[in-house]
Every structure is written in structure tokens, then in C-alpha cells.
Structure 1
Amino acid sequence: MVLDWAAPWFAPVAEAGRAVQAARAAGLSLPEALNAAAPGPLRAVPQAELPEGVAYEAFIGETGRVPTRENLHDGFNGLIWHRFPLAKRRLNRLQAEAIAAQGVGAVRGPLRDAITLFDENAALLQAPPALWDALRARDWQRLFVSERALWSGARLVLFGHALLEKLAQPYKSITAHVFTEAVPGALGTDLAAWDGWLAERLRPEALACKPFTPLPVLGVPGWWPPNESADFYADAQVFRAPRRA
């Protein structure tokens, strides 16, 4: 698949993504390409190195190796390890500790569910208070139409690797789970600083409460040409009103 690395949703991983793509074109496997072109704190290894019956997260925690399949999903996972190494290690440690304490059962439980959701589908938002108010209220018209100009001072960064995989072939209803702690404006655009800030906030007691709010990402101004029309946001199947208590 040819990826549009110039798409705004890929911006945080685009440079590394292009390098990995070039390494693969030169004949390297995906784990080799990640280690060479976008190294994270741990080493990517072929999926076959994961022993049968051993939990993926526990294996990573014990060995410092990340089993990696030859697919887009695991490719984006490797790119996020490269971009957010501290936060990824924190999430993996929390998963491994929960597995060690509870075992691998048919039901993950609220903490492991939340960790998985964060890892696969989370996004981080740095934005003015008015946008946060509208997002938390799921007031899509205010968020995307009446307060549209405020997005010039906002930044949405996608963390979930499954979310990035979906956006390889974008469609209107793709929805992120935005972490409900606002990224401080003082961090600016330095994603290494974002990583350190995030790692400190990934606490079990906070994650177990599922601190997320949904955001249809292709509604973000400047991200997708169709949303230049206000009618784009009239689709109630995508831009849903909040559930009544």
C-alpha cells in the first residue's frame, strides 16, 4: 500500500515512516527496517520469536524485544515506539504488571481494557479552553464550525497505532479516543516533551476510569477537504449527540 505521508494525521511519524518504507524497499524485513530507520528503546523482532503461550506484553517487559508482524498495524506500532518511547514503555509495564498479578483471562478488566484502548486508538490534544469545552460536550457545531478559527492554535496528535492504520485509507467515521488531560501549551510542539508529560500521567487509577472523549478526526479543520462544507458535520451517524443520562 502506498501511504500519503504528507497527510496531516501522519505528521508526527512521517519522517520515520518514509525512512522505514525506503529500508523495506531496499530489502529489509519490517523489524530490521524499524531497528535501522526508526529505532525505539526496545528491539523489534520477528513475530516468530514470541513463544507460544507467552503473553505479548509480558514478553516485551521481560526481554526488551517487540514481536513484529509484516503488516501495516505493527509498522505503525513500531513508529509510535520511536516517537513516544517513554509512554509506550509505561503502557507496556502497566499491562505486564496487570498480567503478572491477574493472569491472562477471558476478560481483561477495566485497567487492561483502558490500556489497550489507549495504545490502539488514543489521541492527544493541545487546544484553547473553548475547544476543550465543546469537545467534552460533544457540541460538534461549536467545536468545528462556530469556533473553527481557534483550531489554528490547536494541535491534535494521534497516538494509537490502530487509529493510524485506519487512516491509511481514510473514511468519515474514523473516531479517536482523546485523552481528557489537555496537553499544556507550555510544551509547545516538542513531542519529546509531550512524551515525558504523558508517561507521567499514565497512572493505573486514572486509566481505569477510561479518561477519553470521542473525536471524529476527519472533522478537524484542515485535515480533510470535504469538511470545508458545514454540511459535512450534519451527519448524525458520525457526529453524534451525547447520550442522555
Structure 2
Amino acid sequence: MSDSFSPLFLSRSPILDTLSWLIPSIDWTTWPTQQQLDTLRRNSLSSSPIPRFIYPETQPASPLYYEQQVFQQHEVPTRFANWHDLFNALCWLTFPHTKWSLNQRHIDELQGQADTRHRTRKRDAATLLDESGILLPYSSPSLIMALIEHDWHTLFVTRRAAWQHEIKPLVIGHAIFERAHQPFIGMTAKALPIPVEPDFFAWPLPEQLRHLDTLIAHQLIQPDFLATPKEMPPLPYLGIPGWHPGNEQLAFYQQTTYFRPRHHTKMS
């Protein structure tokens, strides 16, 4: 994504639709000032306290790890004119309970490590969800089976009409938002399937997000939840209907270097 700022940045791609609820609250014409970031914190989807987004360029260097700074000082370093960090801040507003739970998981794992230079599998899983995660609320289990089996034809072609009605992609990973304006074949997310009732898909977007935020935050408290990155199947998300202009053509899904078949481990 270009470093140049556009006030219409949240409207440029359907991949950014998860953040569309913020559009009425953002009237920036240039990169936000510290005061504008502070004002933005009042627009969270929940009553959960939001850490302060600070420009580290204007602050003394912190001796703490990023996760420790968030946990102890309730500050999120947010580099100026940096899309990655700006989208991280917007994700804090959208999924505050989940972001706090992810931070708590990092802190818990760090406290149990003798050598903090080596990441645990739980921390790896938390980071992948935070950076490259897409939530997949679904009411039809067969769609998730197609995802797990890499049955891309069923997921994206045969059941194309199910998207937004029986399964919906909601981005939580801020690195995905960062890449949205310059998509390239190969972009893949870690998917977190979440079973929901069919009426979920008729709810307004803010209500959907609040529900998922509370649900995932509660699950992250459970020690066996997301114990390893393997619990999140890969999702070649440019195959999602509407997320890439090329996927209106069947030939798009025949790119097996992107839509890869699943390799089953043979039993000896």
C-alpha cells in the first residue's frame, strides 16, 4: 500500500468492509494527528477500555517489549504514516476484547518462559490471528469441511451464493488490511471458523462484530484454544466472491499454485 494518505481509504476494497462501521467517525484528510487518534478511542464498539495509540517518534524509547508496553502502560506504539500500525489501531476499536485477550496470552506465555527470545506455539498462533486472521462465522458446517479439505471449487464456485448468507469473512488481521490496496495472487490468511445461528447474517455489522469479539475473547481464556497455528486452516482469500475481480471467471480458481490441493499424510 502506498504511504500516501487518502480520506477514502476504508472504501477502496471490499477486503476492508469489516472496518466500514468506522467510516462516519473518520473525517481525516491527512494522516491523523495524536489528538485525532485520542479522539478516535472514544468510538470503540464496546465499553472495554482502549489503550492509547501513541506516536513513538514523539515519546522516549520504551525498554519494554511491545506486548509488555500494551499490558503495563496501556499504550500501543503506532508509527506515524504507517498503514500497518494504523490498521492495528482500528482493529483495537473493532475487536477490543479479543485484542486484550491476545495481549494477555502473550504476557502469560512470556512469564512462563526462561528465554523470551523463543516464541511458543501459543504465541505463534496468537500472532497469526492478530496479523493474518480472518474470522469465518458460518451456519453451514459443509462449507467449513470444504475449507479444511481444500475443496476450493465447492467453497468458492458451487456454494458461491452462500457467502454473506451462510458464511461471512470478517478480517481481524491488520496485515491483511495493509495489503488490501495492492492485492497479489498468493495472499493467504489463517481462518478461524466460528459456528453461529442462521439469523446472525441478518444482524447489523456492529452487532455481528460485538458478538464475535466477546465470543473469541472468552475462548482465548481457555488454555487449549488456539494452542498451535495448525488449528487455523489456510484461506486463499482472493477467492472470496467480490474480493478480486478475476474470481468471476472459473479459470481463476484453476491456479493450483494459489488454490492448492490438500496433501494428506499417508499412514505407514
Settle same-fold status: TM greater than 0.5.
yes
In proportion to residue count, which structure has more helix? 1
Contact 2:84 2:175 in 1 (8 A): yes
Aligned partners of 1:79, 1:185: CA distance in 2, in Å?
28
Residue 43 of structure 1 aligns with which residue? 52
Contact 2:124 2:228 in 1 (8 A): no
Q: Aligned to 1:92, which of 82, 103, 107? A: 103
Q: What secondary structure sits across from 2:184 in the alignment?
A: coil
Deviations, residues 175-220 of structure 1 (Å, cap 9, x unaligned): 1100144345454442111111111111342221322011111101
CA-CA distance at 1:106 after TM superposition:
2.8
Aligned partners of 2:133, 2:65: CA distance in 1, in Å?
22
Counterpart of 1:237, as a letter, is: T
Q: What secondary structure sits across from 2:233 in the alignment?
A: strand
Q: Aligned to 1:205, which of 214, 224, 240? A: 224
Moved more, 165-174 or 77-86: 165-174
Aligned partners of 1:44, 1:101: CA distance in 2, in Å?
28
Deviations, residues 153-185 of structure 1 (Å, cap 9, x unaligned): 121100000111111211222111001443454
1:135 corresponds to 2:147: yes
Contact 2:10 2:23 in 1 (8 A): no
Aligned partners of 2:29, 2:76: CA distance in 1, in Å?
18
CA 1:205–1:67 in structure 2 vs 1: closer, same or farther (change >3 Å)?
A: same
Deviations, residues 36-78 of structure 1 (Å, cap 9, x unaligned): 2354511111224474431110111111111111100000000
Q: What secondary structure sits across from 2:261 in the alignment?
A: coil
Counterpart of 2:250, as a letter, is: A
Residue 116 of structure 1 aligns with which residue? 127
Deviations, residues 80-127 of structure 1 (Å, cap 9, x unaligned): 000011100110111122222326633211111111111101111123
1:164 corresponds to 2:177: yes
Q: What secondary structure sits across from 1:96 in the alignment?
A: helix
Q: What secondary structure sits across from 1:123 in the alignment?
A: strand
User: Matched residue pairs, number?
Assistant: 242
Aligned partners of 1:94, 1:142: CA distance in 2, in Å?
35
Q: What secondary structure sits across from 2:37 in the alignment?
A: helix
Residue 262 of structure 2 aligns with which residue? 242
Map residues 223-242 of structure 1 onto 2, 5 A cutoff.
223-242=243-262
**TM-score using structure 2 length:** 0.82
1:16 corresponds to 2:22: yes
CA RMSD, aligned part only?
Answer: 2.2
Aligned partners of 1:144, 1:186: CA distance in 2, in Å?
22
Q: What secondary structure sits across from 1:124 in the alignment?
A: strand
Alignment gaps of 5+ in structure 1? none
Q: What secondary structure sits across from 1:155 in the alignment?
A: coil
CA 1:24–1:95 in structure 2 vs 1: closer, same or farther (change >3 Å)?
A: farther
Contact 2:13 2:181 in 1 (8 A): no
Alignment gaps of 5+ in structure 2? 45-49
Residue 163 of structure 2 aligns with which residue? 151
Moved more, 178-187 or 123-132: 178-187
